Amino acid sequence: MTLRLPAVLTLAAALLVPATATTTAAAATPGTPAYGNYVALGDSYASGPFIPHQRTDPLGCFRSTRNYASLVAERLGTKLTDVTCGGATTVDMTAPQDVLFGPNPPQLDALTPDTDLVTVTIGGNDIGFSDIILTCAQDSVLDPFGNPCTRRYTAGGTDRLAARIDALAPKVAAVLQGIAQRAPEAHVVVVAYLRILPPSHGCWPVVPISVGDVPYLDATQRKLNGMLGARAGAAGATFVDPYPSSLGRDVCQLPGVKWVEGLVPTAPAFPVHPNAAGMRAVADLVVAAV
């Protein structure tokens, strides 16, 4: 997922390091499975925008050398091909993604018959993550203690965000089918999204989401993660859900505690995205799962 905000290249430049798409990690930790060819797929919750250091292959993907895939590869001692890219949708798994100094090639093109480990985080941009966050933040200005965003997305008795998630399910299934076709021997891990909001109340105005909208948006994220888990199960993939373990680590927590930054980050990370601690937490879960 990627939140659209004004130009951020000055900050990005300070975090850049040259890198190639394929890196070789350190020796594997004793007792871990041996994987030789790991491919990481996904959006900005996998790429790690603004987490130092940022790679330049291409710059517009905002891919960190300390995202969860890089940490997993380091722990497992495997070669990593990281094609994650901020803003990616399910369409970008099979089509080039137009980004700054790009494009980023179709992500599934990185898979080969000898790929033996794949992680994928995808779907947030398909349901309109950026617009949802910005719309709900704008709605909160006039009704901070009500539920204006909930009313907006459920007007007429239809939950439009739930409908978007339902419509996304077959697209995720198609991505997993495409992975299986290109890398039939791979251990595939579907990685869901870290918790963004607390279960209730929130922390308006520090994070400008109306108090009454927090439960609805939290439930929407749980539905998204639940759908990803169901699609993973149907495809025979492993599912890693960092949502439960990130209770008390949401955007409303103090610096050094939170795993996802707010609209005004307090650590190097893109707004409403995982910081370095969040990436480490996800990497721990992935390593334990494989």
Encode the chain (290 residues) as per-residue pLDDT tens digits: 655 433 343 333 334 443 434 444 444 445 556 899 999 999 999 999 999 999 999 999 999 999 999 999 999 999 999 999 999 999 999 999 999 998 999 999 999 999 999 999 999 999 999 899 999 999 999 999 999 999 999 999 999 999 999 999 999 999 999 999 999 999 999 999 999 999 998 999 999 999 999 999 999 999 999 999 999 999 999 999 999 999 999 999 999 999 999 999 999 999 999 999 999 999 999 999 99
Q: What is the pLDDT of residue 30?
A: 53
* Catalytic (active site) residue 44: yes
- What residue ranges define each of the domains in the chain, with the CATH number in brackets? 9-289 (3.40.50.1110)
| DSSP codes of every residue in 201-239 | S--TTTS---GGGHHHHHHHHHHHHHHHHHHHHHHT-EE
Q: CA-to-CA distance for 54 and 188, rounded, in angstroms?
A: 26
pTM of the predicted model as reported, rounded to 2 decimal places: 0.90
* Catalytic (active site) residue 187: no
Q: What is the pLDDT of residue 130?
A: 86
Catalytic residue, candidates 44, 64, 70, 140:
44
Q: What is the pLDDT of residue 34?
A: 81
Q: CA-to-CA distance for 140 and 213, rounded, in angstroms?
A: 9
Q: What is the pLDDT of residue 31?
A: 56
| DSSP codes of every residue in 168-211 | HHHHHHHHHHHHHHH-TT-EEEEE-PPP-S-SSS--TTTS---G
